[in-house]
Amino acid sequence: MKKTILSGMRPTGELHLGNLYGALKNWVKLQQDDSYERFYFVADWHALTTGFDASEEIPQKTLNMVIDWLAFGLDEEKNTIFVQSLVKEHAELFLLLSMITPVGWLERVPSYKDQIAQLGKAKTSNYGFLGYPVLMAADIIIYKAHLVPVGLDQVAHLEFTRELVRHFNHLVGRDVFIEPQPLLTEVPKILGLDGRKMSKSYDNAIYLSDSEEETQKKIRVMFTDPRRKRKTDPGVAEECGVFMLHKIFTPKDKQEEIKDACSKAQIGCVECKRLLVKNLNEALSPIRENRNRLLNDKDTVKQILIDGSKKASQKAKETMEEVRDAIFSNSRLG
């Protein structure tokens, strides 16, 4: 039996370098391994938990995000790529799980309080937001996923899922679901233009959708090591956001050279950035071409999502048969 990998992203629209060389790079790497079946989906219902006011943007953002997935090399032949809201079984499982989820567990999930603090009461005082981890659990266990490639920020949600699986299996007296494990993969640190973590919400990101000129302009104003106030001041490349990008886009030997030259004030930040722009734009060029091609062929992208969602539905339907059977023909519950 093949093991199953599953992951999802909320539809944020165009992806930036942090998304691409973090999560997506791992998804693409995983597609080399034939011992797994893989599902990747757009969590569009999750986007509604805090963003109902902008719900009309979700279809466009879904499409643009998936275009970036495909352009970056996620292969629809090797992975089932789908949209959460096109597989209604997620909603049924979410509903059933909600009947056995203690509210206290949800209030204790760390992101619950964090998000309320960050986004304010107006966006987070709905029942669906409280239930975010239940929907996420449904997304995962409906495919009986073994591994879930996610970032550290999602580990608490995975732990919640595991707890809920144990609780459900115990209540129905059958091992319907398996406990998924997070697949934590090393991701490079990528800083935004202002030296904070690269993030759409900080407005400090470089996007695949940026032109070469835009990319150049952005890097020109990017924060560098503050030790290098003048060109003659030595710096520490490892602490500079520009160098963190060199680590992705520049050959190893040249990286070493830059690090050394930076520490001896033998290279200026302007020159260092010029090299980065060249390497970065070169690396992104074929990916940007893919992107432009897909942008002109949105029907194909939509069809990929429809086909993927149909495939996902088949598996989800099978699981739901088992779930209904476990709940409604169970002598312990009935």
Considering only the stretches 3-11, 52-60, 253-261, 310-318, report the one whose residues sit in contact with ligand TRP under the rule CB under 6 A: 3-11
Q: Taking the CB of residue 167, how many other CB atoms lie within 10 A of it?
A: 15
* C-alpha 313 chain-centroid distance: 21
Q: Which does 10 bind (CB under 5 to 8 A by kind): ligand TRP, ligand SF4, none?
A: ligand TRP
Considering only the stretches 100-108, 136-144, 236-244, 298-306, report the one whose residues sit in contact with ligand TRP under the rule CB under 6 A: 136-144
Of 196-235, binders to ligand SF4 (CB under 6 A) are 224-225, 228, 235
Which one, 4 or 224, has the nearer CB to ligand TRP? 4
Which one, 88 or 247, has the nearer CB to ligand SF4? 247
Rounded Cα distance, 222 and 270, in Å: 10
Which one, 20 or 240, has the nearer CB to ligand SF4? 240
The residues, any chain, with a CB within 8 Å of residue 251's CB and separated by 6 or more, are none
| Residue in this structure with the two tokens 């009986």, named with its chain if needed | 144
Does residue number 8 form part of the binding site for ligand TRP (CB under 6 A)? Answer: yes
Q: Taking the CB of residue 330, how many other CB atoms lie within 10 A of it?
A: 13
Total number of residues that touch ligand SF4 (CB under 6 A): 13
Q: Which does 43 bind (CB under 5 to 8 A by kind): ligand TRP, ligand SF4, none?
A: ligand TRP
Does residue number 46 form part of the binding site for ligand TRP (CB under 6 A)? Answer: yes
Does residue number 269 form part of the binding site for ligand SF4 (CB under 6 A)? Answer: yes
Q: Which does 7 bind (CB under 5 to 8 A by kind): ligand TRP, ligand SF4, none?
A: ligand TRP
Closest residue by Cα to residue 303 from 86, 90, 12:
86
Rounded Cα distance, 9 and 11, in Å: 6
Of 273-302, binders to ligand SF4 (CB under 6 A) are 273
In 109-154, where does DSSP find H-type helix? Answer: 110-119, 121-124, 127-130, 132-141
Considering only the stretches 8-16, 71-79, 193-201, 273-281, report the one whose residues sit in contact with ligand TRP under the rule CB under 6 A: 8-16
Burial profile 15-50: b = 16 or more Cβ within 10 angstroms, e = fewer: bbbbbbbbbbbbbbebbeeeebbbbbbbbbbbbbbb
Residue type, 250: T
Does residue number 10 form part of the binding site for ligand TRP (CB under 6 A)? Answer: yes
For residue 232, the minimal CB distance to ligand SF4 (Å) is 12
Among 237, 245, 301, 316, binds ligand SF4 (CB under 6 A): 237
Cα separations in angstroms, 21 against 79, 90, 191, 247, 253: 19, 29, 12, 11, 20
Which one, 132 or 249, has the nearer CB to ligand TRP? 132
Where does this chain bind ligand TRP (CB under 6 A)? 6-10, 43, 46, 136, 139-140, 148, 150, 154, 157
